[in-house]
A and B are shown apart, each in its own frame.
Chain A
Amino acid sequence: MRTIIQGLVGGVIAFIIGAALLGIVRLAFGLSFWGGEASLVAGWLAFVIGWLLGVGVWEYWVREWFNLPVKKFEATGTSRYFTFCTDHKVVGIQYLVTFLGLFLLAGLLAMVMRAELMAPGRNYMSGATYNNVMSLHGTIMVFVGVAATVGAFGNYILPIMIGAEDMAFPRLNALSFWFVPPVAILLLASVFSNGYDTGWTGYATLASSTREGVIFYNLAFFTVGFSSILGAVNILTTVIALRAKGMYWGRLPIFVWASLGTAILSLIFTQFIALAMIMSLLDRVAGFSFFDAFAGGDPLLYQNVFWFYSHPAVYVMILPGLGIALEIISVFSRKPLFAYKWAVFGMMGVVVLSALVWAHHMFTSGMDSPLRIPFMITTELISVPTGLVFLTALGTMWGGKLILKTPMLFALAVIFNFLIGGITGIFLSDVPVDIQLQDTFFVVAHFHYTIVGGGIFALFAGIYYWYPKMTGRMYNERQGKIQFWWMFIGFNLTFIPMFWAGLNGMNRRIADYVPDLGNINFFTSMSAFFLGIGFLLFVYNMAVSLKKGEVAADNPWGGYTLEWQTSSPPPLENFDTPPEVVGDPYGYGEPDAKHVIFPAPAATD
């Protein structure tokens, strides 16, 4: 708690200083002291600096650098999770819990949207309010998608999987998490300034003419980008430099490969979203005209820069999930991961191709018509490396001994849902067909199948799979299975009808629709409420099992990867003796398979 109070105090002081400095400059130019949006932007940028100084930068970097006495605040027990803690396992839990909270909040917003869409006409809210709710839902969910899985398990599990003691840059790791709380506060604060109605995409030129709440969106997206980039640098460095002895590239668990691909994407592309946000802010606040067609700009420029990040970002959301699903399928089929190298090749193929597909979001934007062809080709082709993941999943299961426990059920659902998401993606990438489907509920259904059905189901698979490792206790298996079926059925009942609605004249982001679509929307809303209740079961299971769950064994699933070869939960530096990797992690069923040995400590001295 102390950390958060320090951060808030530092942030507020800095906000005042930042806004005041701008105010003085404004006064010097004969303007009013308070410049509205401009002052908010200046204040916010200062707030972030003040917040970071308050939560730990002052203690961990500044004082130490200048040889001042450092009084580090080392907490233990639960209170660690509220501090600037450099233990990667604490950071992983911080990410997981924070983003689960945001996920539930944004899920609640989805319920509000479905309530309004239950019947045609205005039911509970104005068009403006609906747009605010929709925009906030989308933005928060995108942040959750980008950061939840790789933030939680990329931090907690990945270093253990490669036999490292911690991440390569532990302080940077803590820093990258502490960017998140102010972003959450900022997004929620947008509600008090009437919100913003641009959706999560914030297209020009709506963004420059709409309510002032849109700057909260711009600043939040800009700020959370730092978290992504720092996290990506850390994961890349950790995987390159801190692998245990004998952990050759060909022996890396598939989840590590997936996280590596994710980190490459985040590192390269996140700066483009920051650029899009800065240009959008400058247009609005400082009177630039990057996107204003009537002052020499081009609204399509925004879309190009925005999607240059935001398409790779969907692979940031889905790749770690596919990695988790494949890990689990191998362990719970008791078979080696089939065609491992092909799967790695597929994931890296996705990373490369994802840089070349962004304009498929713009097929009806009025871009030069023949220019759409290369993007159609690259987008169709990206289904090829993705397809290798399906080959691996099916090949691994074939002839295995499937243990259908909760993590496995979720992992199999990832394959099922992502198949539907992937195949409908082909429809959207084909220009003639996309002309009808673009900006309809078909698109809404498609990306929920990939990002929720793939990414979020994989997040749940990972939570159930690693719950015993992270907490030292088992979750309730029966409740877990009930929650799985509840969520799986609810999810499919919610999103399958949306394909039909989109094909039949329901466009997205609308508070109201033609009466003919009333029945399908009523059904969808009911299914969505059912789906929403399913998450309460999950929260209950997790919360109760934390105290009352059976004490977990070190390796309850019989997994070969390194995180199962240490205690549950692992000690501070993960292993009592440094592990040495002697084989690949998927030798299930092979008589003499061994992934790791722990040489006697005496040998090290």
Chain B
Amino acid sequence: MKKDLIIAVILWFVFTAVGEYWAFNANMFPIAAAEEAVFLDDAFRLLIILAMPVFTLVLTFLFFSILRYRSKGDPDSDGPPMRTNTPLAAGWLAITTGLAIFVVINPGLKGMAELSANPNADLVIQVTGEQWHWDVSYPQYDLTYQRATQIALPADARVKFELTSTDVIHSLWIPAFRLKMDAVPGRDTSFYVTPTEIVDTEMDSNVRVQCAELCGTGHARMQMAVRIMEPDEFEAWVAEAKAMTMSGDMEGMDMGSSSDSMDGMDNMDSESDNMDGMDSGDGDMDMDTDSGMDMDSGDSDMDMDSGSDDMNMNSDSDG
């Protein structure tokens, strides 16, 4: 058995080495389009590196025992009556506790500190979730988009997302940033991100806003395109967007007319009452958002069977 132990430990080292080689080098992540994404990927990788010896230890001893000690047919005698080994158990307890505490500190606490290190934002974007679309505004520029289909972001600027909801809980997730935060009715939540890559949804579907908290029928398609631009390109975009607002295109926006809000009371039979506002607002976005994904707006086969408009009435004042 002593020989078995030596063989098993050697195998464990070998498997750990192979596993660690993979952990250090594997390309397992989708596009990382923000500073945060890079260090959160590092945090994920660090956890794999730390978990690998534990993982290989259990698997090595599990499979070594299965292959080495399996008996053909019923054995004629029992195994050796080993009861316990207190130093081993105590050591096991100490090492696993140490590992657990280590991962609390790094990447846990370290990562949390890094995410909230800098509370100064260059750009604030307010996003309000509502079944099943997002309202986006840039308060610094007086720009507001109801039922937005796209968010424009400047690269290398620290952006603060301020979130809330008018009806149920939604969650704003941008996979390429590795960040998400729930949009909760009656609460203001936020997170910071510093986009770095000049990419958009059309180039990679992970550069998108996806609702990540189950919010009803249209949950899966409660998405928005994301476009990250060079800072000067973003300035130009803002100027153009403001010019459009001045020229009166605001009328196209959904101001939540109360007449069609009232007939949404019955949850079951109002197929049409959401459609009134569907096409409005979209025209204000000056970029092509046809990215191959089914975006929320204008998607006529979406069966919005729940009349949420009775809750939409006050959305403008909340947003």
Chain A residues at the B interface, C-beta cutoff of 8 Å = 121-122, 126-128, 130-131, 194, 197-199, 201, 203-206, 209-212, 293-294, 298-300, 333-336, 338-342, 364-366, 369, 372-373, 376-377, 380-381, 383-384, 387-388, 390-391, 393-395, 397-404, 412, 415-416, 419, 423, 426-427, 430-433, 435-436, 438-440, 500, 503-505, 507, 509-516, 587-590, 593
Contacts and interface: CB of A to CB of B under 8 A. Distances in A.
Nearest to A381: B100
B179 A504 contact: no
A397 B217 CA distance: 50
Given A336-B81, A341-B84, A388-B89, A504 B175 contact: yes
A280 to B, nearest CB: 13
B112 A431 contact: yes
Contact of B186 (A299, A333, A403, A514): A299
Given A336-B82, A391-B92, A432 B100 contact: no
A212 B112 CA distance: 40
A430 B47 contact: yes
A404 B66 contact: yes
B62 A412 contact: yes
The 9 A-B residue pairs whose C-beta atoms are closest, nearest first, are: A293-B186, A432-B111, A510-B220, A589-B78, A366-B189, A400-B79, A505-B175, A589-B81, A401-B75
Contacts, number: 299
17 contacts: A130-B220, A131-B216, A198-B214, A204-B169, A205-B168, A206-B168, A211-B268, A293-B187, A299-B187, A300-B187, A381-B97, A384-B93, A500-B28, A503-B28, A505-B210, A512-B220, A515-B292
B11 interface: no
B205 A205 contact: no
A503 B61 CA distance: 29
A369 B101 CA distance: 19
A335 B293 CA distance: 58
Contacts of A589: 77-81
Contacts of A203: 168-169, 213-214
A199 B214 contact: yes
B71 A423 contact: no
Given A209-B306, A342-B84, A416 B62 contact: yes
B71 A402 contact: yes
Contacts of B292: 515
Contacts of A398: 1, 61, 65, 69, 82
B303 A128 contact: yes
A391 to B, nearest CB: 5
Interface string B127-169: 0000000000000000000000000000000000001000111
Contacts of A373: 108-109, 112
Given A209-B167, A433-B44, A511-B220, A590 B180 contact: no
- Which residue of A419, A436, A516 has the most chain B CB atoms within 10 A of its CB atom? A436
A66 B97 CA distance: 59
A397 to B, nearest CB: 4
Contacts of B208: 505, 514
Interface residues of B, number: 94
Contacts of B65: 394, 397-398, 400, 402
- Which residue of A334, A369, A588 has the most chain B CB atoms within 10 A of its CB atom? A334
- Which residue of B79, B301, B303 has the most chain A CB atoms within 10 A of its CB atom? B79
B54 A439 contact: no
B97 A384 contact: yes
A136 B100 CA distance: 36
Contacts of B301: 122
B51 interface: yes
Contacts of A300: 184, 187
Contacts of A299: 169, 184-187
Given A366-B182, A426-B103, A431-B111, A504 B302 contact: no
Given A127-B303, A335-B80, A433 B212 contact: no
Contacts of A515: 205, 292-293
Interface string B67-88: 0011100110111111111001
B272 interface: no
Contacts of B7: none
Nearest to A130: B220
A339 B89 contact: yes
A512 B294 contact: yes
Contact of B44 (A199, A206, A372, A427): A427
A298 B186 contact: yes
A211 B131 CA distance: 14
A335 B210 contact: no
B305 interface: yes
Contacts of A369: 112, 116
Interface string B272-307: 000000000000000000001110000001110110
Contacts of A435: 40, 115, 178-181
Contacts of B214: 131, 197-199, 201, 203, 206, 509
Given A294-B185, A436-B179, A514-B293, 18 more contacts: A121-B294, A127-B221, A209-B306, A336-B81, A338-B83, A339-B88, A376-B108, A384-B96, A391-B89, A391-B92, A394-B65, A431-B112, A432-B40, A503-B44, A505-B205, A507-B210, A512-B221, A589-B79
A438 B167 CA distance: 21
Nearest to B176: A505
A247 B205 CA distance: 62
B199 interface: no
Given A394-B62, A415-B62, A514-B205, A131 B185 contact: no
B171 interface: yes
A588 B79 CA distance: 7
Contacts of A212: 267
A590 B78 CA distance: 8
B22 interface: no
Contacts of B196: none
A206 B219 CA distance: 11
- Which residue of A203, A364, A394, A504 has the most chain B CB atoms within 10 A of its CB atom? A364
A416 B59 CA distance: 7
Given A293-B185, A412-B62, A419-B59, A400 B69 contact: yes
Interface string B15-44: 000000000000011100000000010011
Nearest to B4: A399
A380 B69 contact: no
Contacts of B55: 419, 423
Given A128-B303, A293-B187, A334 B75 contact: yes
B164 to A, nearest CB: 9
Contacts of A509: 214, 219
Contact of B220 (A381, A513, A588): A513
Contacts of A432: 40, 43, 107-108, 111-112, 114-115
Contacts of B239: none
B62 to A, nearest CB: 6
B58 interface: yes
Contacts of A366: 163, 181-182, 184, 187, 189
- Which residue of B28, B206, B216, B221 has the most chain A CB atoms within 10 A of its CB atom? B216
